[in-house]
Each structure stands twice: as structure tokens, then as C-alpha cells.
Amino acid sequence: MVNGQELRFGKGGVAMRYLRTVALWAAACALGGGAVLWGGEDAMTVKVVPPPKYWDHFLIMPWQFKTDVRRDKALYESVNLHGFHIDRRSDALMAFARETKWLFYVDHAADKGYLHLSGKAGAVKKQKDIVVRPNSLADPQTIATMKNFLKANITSAKGSTAVAYALDDEISLGSFCSPCEVDGHPNSIAGYRKFLEKMYGGDIGKLNAQYGGSYKSFEEISPKSYEAFRGALKPDSLGRLNLSMWCDWRSYMDTQFAECLADLVRYANELDPDVPCGFVGGQGPCAFGGYDYRKLCKAVQWMEAYDIGGNNEILRSFWTQKSPHVQTFFSSKNPKQDSWFLWYYLSHGNRGVIGWPDGWFVNGQVAEHIKALADTFKEVQGPVSKLIIDAEFAHDPVAIYYSHPSIQVIWALDSATHGDTWPHRGSSIESNISTSMNSRIAWLKTLEDIGIQAKFIHQDHLLDGVLEKEGYKVLLLNATVCLSDAEAAAIKSFAAKGGVVMADYLCGICDEHGKARAKGALDDLFGIERDLSKGILGGETLTELDGEKDYSGVNTKNWRSDGAAIYRDVAVYERGLKAAGGAKAEAANGVAVVVRNGKAVYLNLSPIGYLIKRPGGTSQEWLPFVEGLFKEAGVEARVKLSVGGRPARATEAIFWRTGDRMTLCVVRNLGRQAAIDGFGKLDGMSDAEGKVKLKLVFASPVKKLKNERTGKELGDGKEFEDEFAPWEANVYTFAK
């Protein structure tokens, strides 16, 4: 049943609508525009196309909005801007690019209205049932249309100074990451069935055992929306979860989305093999929209993604610097904040920013807040950026696990609080108060605040043995609710070889489909037993961040710590946890926390409490506690930063490697709640701040330490002092 209408695909019941679609499919395939029903991992994987050689520095590219680079060329040059963008195609702007050699990217290369539904998004928003997506990505005509746009737009730009092609902006299966239950198109349903048949090895009995169903064949199966499962989600139901059918459907739609993008990217590469193709306006990892970053990072060659839910660090982890990622730069009109933004994202490995120049150039003049950035624009795009953008991210031997099935299940738990109004949980609400996103950010900030830089890995890395191959010491299982038997076996193997495994909460309570296990996949490893019927936190909720109480951002109003035990400034999660099999545990209000079983540590804690306290600096216990855990695991900060004899609060050290030379970026690590239409919220930056004396203490001696911005040679040793502007970044090089 899809949108109230039955679609039959079984033997003897094939709908005429489906036959017409197949005919369209064949015609479109003959034109090279066929859509992929489901082709597996290979169909979503494209080759790496490195950035063109002329994109050899951090690049600022103002969008052509309320400005015309031809008319305003002198204004751009006056503030050291030499980049821009072309929307679809423009002969005049192409002529400008060829004349000036200025660099640009092409946006909406596949036009708008297909990957981004534009005005048609209303048809799929706020619906409880599965609906057919307008311009369905399973419709071969949609793919053929986009390829026609690609042919026209890329052919126009080929051979110029284009740095990248963006298929479209703010793309989605539905509308951003809002819960749009698409796609009920006949081709999607047919592809879904093939997907399931492959997933369950052609064994309908295996699928029935998973779903608790009685299907006679895969052709009988039709997808069900979240609404079909929402009513079973209660505070005491964690041990009875079975979201398999819904999670498999969402996973298929993520796959369809990635395969569509990969198909378009491969076609773009045929038209111009030397320039990467991807998209801009990426959303946070979510159950909806197609935002499974394990799949997306295979399907495209570059990306601009809003810094939501740890996107920046995820991209830096899943890609090398040969696959560029950039940010959107909305000026805050505060030059210090804007300067910090540019230095922060350069330090984190971004290859540039796309500037939204609303109010930058008015009546033939440059706005004062943009004039104030002229020197910053020049320096971040200068030689210092070359030390970072093509280097290798030199992380500590710590991996954080990215589990998209867990993201799906946590979304389902978060959304249960809304009752039957869940379709109104729009993308902005999800971005602000998603439990999985904020838990991920809280761990990133925690580790960065104690001087540790971690790298995300996903299931492909894990199953390929990357933990052992790359010498990781610690695997952190953050909100890893779902684990397959294969994943659990790989984690146990890592632990058996001496690796330290840490988990925060609800680890492995479900399989990879979102069905509760009789016993957690790693309970024996951690030495724990749990009674999930007792629920989480205060016992009356399924979510740590309650959007019914407030959805403006993480705060004490929506943090469901009411009734929960508090340990080291954060909330105790599982109420029914206890140690087993000789494991040792501490206790908080009678609940086991920090369960130690050999080198395995089960925290039973959520770091979100630290995220709430961090802006005011009121957490006194969490950081020393976590620092001690990692010290026991053999991981300590490579450099400690201090000001006035105290640790430099919320200041980050990021290392990059080029050959035998290291680059160290020191930058304020402020909390930023990103937005898709503005600078966003930023905590901790004061206009009254001035330059400070910074002390660097390295764990091991370094040689020939040099401040690359000032040219100051600091020499050899372990301890150094320098000057630091908190709204900028210090960039050092050294040899070990």
C-alpha cells in the first residue's frame, strides 16, 4: 500500500503503470539516461578525481548573488578575492574566467528541481504515508533530463579554470533532512525488493524471521513508513525493538540516492575527466534525505557540507585531501568571528569556502565588515594554506565508529516523543537537537579539549581490518546501538589483539537491521548484563534531547536528565545495567557505570551533558576523567597548550603530515551551531579579546619549530612560547 493505493507486482498482477515505466526505462537507457534499480556497492562507487592542479590553495568563491564579478572585479581585487561561481552556464562569465584565469565552480550543473525538489517539496513533506517523489530518482526520464543539463553546462565550462562541478545545492531525497517517506515510485518498489532479496540471500524465510512476517515471496513486500512502527516505541520497549522493515527501507533509499549521484558523477567525468563532480549544501547524517555518509563519500568526488552533526570531521576522515571538502561562508558582520571561521576551517582541512555575498558589495562599494577581512582573505588563500590542503591528516590512534543503522534507530527513538506529529520534525529541528548528532559532537569536543584528534571509521574500514593495519589503540563506539555479527566479531578480534574498546551507551542492543538482540552483541566483551525494561535516564523517555520541550538547540530545557543519575557532570544512561563475569564497575545511584573488563570499558554515560556545560566552562570532572581513560589506553596529547599557566580553554591542536615534515595548526575550538542560511550561533568569542602568550609543551622533542605566519624560528626542544590571536590560527612546521 503506497499513499493509499495498492501497487501489485506479483505474478499475474503486474500493473499497467509498471509496464509503462519499464518501457520508459528501456527508451531512456537507449539514450544513456537509465536509472539503476539497485546495483550494490559497486554501483555507488566512483573513482577519485583530484582537484585540478591550479586549485592549489585555499579558495574563496563568492556566489553570484547581489554581485556580478565582471562589474565588481575591482571591488573583489581590493579585498583579495579572485574566485567566483557560475550558476549552470554563462557565456559572459566563461569569457571572464578565460580572460582573467580566475577560479570558479559550477553550481546546479544538473539543474534545480530534481536532486533538490524546489517548489515540489511540499508534496512529500509532513506526510505519514509513503509517497511518490516528484521527479523520482528511480524514473529514467529524471536521470536522462539531468544528464542533458550536465552535458550542456559541463561542456560550456570544460577546458577553463573550473575547479569543481556541483550537481545541485541542498540536495535530498525529500526536503533537506525532514522526514519525507519517499519513494513509492514503481521502480523504487521493484528496486527495494531486489535489494531485500540480495540482503537476505534470496531466502524469504530469513526475511520473515527478521520481520516477524509471513511473506511468500519478495514480490509481495511493500515498504512501510515510520508511522507503522511508532506506536510500539515506549520507554520500556528497548529490549523489544523491531524496526527492521523500516530501517531496511530507509537503507535502500539511501542506496538509491547514492547510486543516482554516482551515475551522474560518472557521466560528468565522461564529459570532463579532469574536474571533480559532487554537490553543495550537504546536510547532517540522518535517517532521511539520503544522508548516509558512508555511501555518499563513495558516490561523489567533492562536497560542500554544512558543519552539522560532525560533517567536517566525517569528511576529513572518510576522504583523503584528494577529495576536496569546503564550507559555506556567511559573514557574521563581526570581523573577528569571520576571521576565526576562515582560519578554523582551513586548519581543519577544508580546501576553500563558498561565500554568500549578501551585503558585501553595495552601490559600488565594499562593505566595511568585508574590507576589514582583506588581509585575512589574502593570507588564508596564500602559501600557508598549501601546508594543509594537500597534506595527510595526522590523527591520534583513536577511531570513532560511524554506524548509520544506529543513526536510523536513534532518529526513531528521538521522534517518538512527538507522537503523531512526527512528520513535522523538520530538518532544522533535527539539526539542532538530534541525539546522535549532538552525542557525536560532544565526543569530538571532549577529545579535542584533552588534545586528542580522532578519526571516524565505518563498517567497510572495520571489516577490512583497518584498526590493526593502521595501528589504532582505541576504538570508541559512540551511540552504536546497532551492530552486525560481522562487526561484533571484528571488534572482538581487535580487542583480542590488545586494542582498547570503549562504548558509551546502548551498545549493540540491536542487529544491523534495527531489531533488538536477546543479548547485546558485545555484552561479554564489556562484562555487562542489562535489563532494558527499566529504560534510560529518568525512565520516562526514549530520547536524551526532547524536541517537544525545546528545539532551538541543546540546553537544559530539552536535556532529559530529570530523574537520571549524574556522574562526572554527565547523565547515566541505562538504568538496568550491571557488571557481570568478574568485570569491575563503579556505581551511581545504584546503577553500574564505567564497567571495566580487561581493556574493554563500558561507560554507560552520555557526553551530551558536557556539551551543555562547555560554553560556560562549568564542567569540572568530565575532561580529567576522560583524559585518564585514554592515558590508561596509551593515548595522550602530543602537545599541551596553556595561557598564563593554565590550559588554553577550548583551543585545539591539529596535525598534518607532508613527507617528514609536520604542520601544526593551533586554533580556538569554539562551539558553533551551524545554519543553512546564516553564520549560525557561536559561543566564546569576545571582541574584547586581545593577543595572548601561548605556551606549547610537546610530549616528545621536535626540531626546527617555525611559525609559518610570522617566520619566527623557535628552534629545537619540547617547550616553546609564542604569541596567539584567538580569532586567528598559529601555523607551525617542525621535524620530529
Q: What confidence score (pLDDT) does residue 644 get?
A: 85
DSSP line for 16-50? HHHHHHHHHHHHHHHTT-PPPS---GGGG-----P
CATH architecture type of domain 398-632? 3-Layer(aba) Sandwich (3.40)
pLDDT, position 687: 72
Question: Radius of gyration of the chain from Cα atoms?
Answer: 26
Average pLDDT over residues 456-472: 98
- Confidence (pLDDT) at 684: 72
pLDDT in tens, 148-186: 999 999 999 999 999 999 999 999 999 999 999 999 999
Q: Where are the alpha helices (DSSP H) in 283-365?
A: 293-299, 311-318, 335-347
Tell me if residue 287 falls in helix, strand or coil: coil
Q: What is the DSSP string of 603-638?
A: --EETHHHHHHGGGT---SHHHHHHHHHHHTT---S
Q: Give the residue carrying C-alpha cell 519499464.
A: 22
3-state SS track over 401-431? ECCHHHHHHHHHHHHHHHHHHHHHCCHHHHH
Residue 492 clears pLDDT 50, i.e. is over it: yes
Residue pair 663/733 in contact by the 8 Å Cβ criterion: yes
- Classify burial at 483, counting beta carbons within 10 Å of its beta carbon; exposed 0-12, middle 13-18, buried 19 or more: buried
Q: What mean pLDDT do residues 688-714 have?
A: 95
The more confident residue out of 80 and 5 is 80
Q: Say yes or no: domain 639-735 is CATH 3.30.200.20.
A: no
> Using 50, 70 and 90 to split pLDDT, how confident is the model at 685?
confident
Cell of 394: 595526522
CB neighbour list of residue 191: distance below 8 Å, 6 or more residues apart:
36, 37, 38, 138, 252, 256
pLDDT (0 to 100) of residue 8? 32
Rounded to whole angstroms, how far apart are CA atoms 114 and 134? Answer: 8
The chain-wide mean pLDDT, for the chain, equals: 94
**Cross-strand pairs, 605:** 572
Domain ranges of the chain: 30-183+253-392, 398-632, 639-735
Whether the per-residue pLDDT at 373 is higher than 80: the answer is yes
In the prediction, which pLDDT does 7 show? Answer: 37
Cell numbers representing residue 532 in the block: 532494558
> What is the pLDDT confidence band of residue 204, given thresholds at 50, 70 and 90?
very high
Residues 6+ apart with CB under 8 A from 18: 7, 9, 186, 190
- Rounded average pLDDT over 468-481: 98
Does the pLDDT at position 14 exceed 50?
no
Res 37: pLDDT:
54
Q: Kindly report, residue by residue over 534-553, the tens digit of the pLDDT.
A: 999 999 999 999 999 999 99
Whether the Cβ atoms of residue 46 and residue 301 lie closer than 8 Å to each other = yes
Dist. CA 732–CA 663, nearest whole Å? 6
- Show the 3-state SS of 346-385: HHCCCCEEEEECCCCEECCEECHHHHCCHHHHHHHCCHHH
Judge whether 397 and 471 are in contact, CB under 8 Å: yes
| Contact present, 637 and 450 (Cβ < 8 Å) | yes
What is the model's pLDDT at position 24? 40
pLDDT average, residue stretch 572-598? 97
Contacts for 79-88 with beta carbons within 8 Å, 24 or more apart? 79/366, 79/370, 79/371, 79/373, 79/374, 79/377, 80/374, 80/375, 80/377, 80/378, 80/381, 81/355, 81/377, 82/381, 83/59, 83/352, 85/61, 85/354, 86/157, 86/162, 88/149, 88/153
Please say if the pLDDT value at position 274 is more than 90: yes
Per the document, the length of the chain is 736
Tell me: pLDDT of 6 over 70: no
Is the pLDDT assigned to residue 19 strictly greater than 80? Answer: no
Half-sphere exposure of 444 (CA within 13 A, CB side): 25
CATH of region 30-183+253-392, choose from 3.20.20.80, 3.30.230.70, 3.20.20.140, 3.40.50.720: 3.20.20.80
Reported as a single tens digit per residue, the pLDDT across 134-145 is 999 999 999 999
In the chain, what percentage of residues exceed pLDDT 90?
91
Residue 577 pLDDT class (50, 70, 90 cuts): very high
| 8-state DSSP, 10 | S
Answer yes or no: is pLDDT of 463 > 90. Answer: yes
Please, are residues 654 and 348 in contact by the beta-carbon 8 Å criterion?
Answer: yes
Q: Give the H/E segment covering residue 210.
A: helix 204-211
Does this chain's domain 398-632 share its CATH topology with 639-735? no
State the pairing for strand pair 646-647/639-643: antiparallel
Interatomic CA distance for residues 674 and 431, integer angstroms: 9
> pLDDT tens, 56-84?
999 999 999 999 999 999 999 999 999 99
Q: Are 355 and 367 in contact (CB under 8 A)?
A: no
Lowest mean pLDDT among 221-230, 560-569, 629-638, 680-689: 680-689
Q: Residue 552: left (phi > 0), alpha (psi -120 to 50), or beta?
A: alpha
Share of the chain above pLDDT 70, in %: 95
Q: Is the pLDDT score of 3 beyond 50? A: no
* Residue 325 clears pLDDT 70, i.e. is over it: yes
Q: Looking at residue 42, what is its pLDDT?
A: 87
